[in-house]
Amino acid sequence: MDLQNCPKCDSLYVKNKFRDVCEKCWKEEETAYDTVAKFMRKRENRAATVIQVVEATGVPEDMILKFIRAGRFQLTQFPNFGYPCDKCGSVIREGRICVSCAGELMADLRTVQKEEQRKKEMADRHATFYTHKD
């Protein structure tokens, strides 16, 4: 069992893979989720942005983003829903980083791999081989 303090209210609770807050805060989150889900079920609200949902429901943006990241809303049904890239903050709809940041990370990785290969080749060139004469 993993006993922790709730990040919202600081009360003790047993953390598990299903809940990252205490029972009381979890119930509050579920109520907030129901409010957002009810709002988004209306056809005229399906094109709402996260900010518009915050303004209409009073549910904090970070909580709505938590619901989206957890997959509780099917983004294919809500074209203007998204969440920030972990690296640059631009709005994305899948993964943890945007395409641009992923490209930068891949380029950085290739650079590191080339440098490692260059170092290995330099070490191989400067390797000294000794032979033993009888």
| Percent of the residues in the chain that have a pLDDT greater than 90, as a whole number | 62
pLDDT at 110: 95
Is pLDDT above 70 for 127?
Answer: no
Torsion sign (Cα): 63, 64, 68, 69: negative
Q: Which of 71, 69, 77 is nearest to 45 (CA)?
A: 77
Name the DSSP letter for residue 96.
S
Q: Which of 4, 41, 37 is nearest to 21 (CA)?
A: 4
Distance CA 118, CA 134 (A): 37
- Per residue in 51-106, pLDDT (tens digit) is 999 999 999 999 999 999 888 988 888 888 888 999 998 989 888 899 999 999 99
CA atoms within 13 A on the CB side of 119: 6
Average pLDDT, the chain: 89
- Per residue in 7-43, pLDDT (tens digit) is 999 999 998 888 889 999 999 999 999 999 999 999 9
Distance CA 122, CA 54 (A): 58
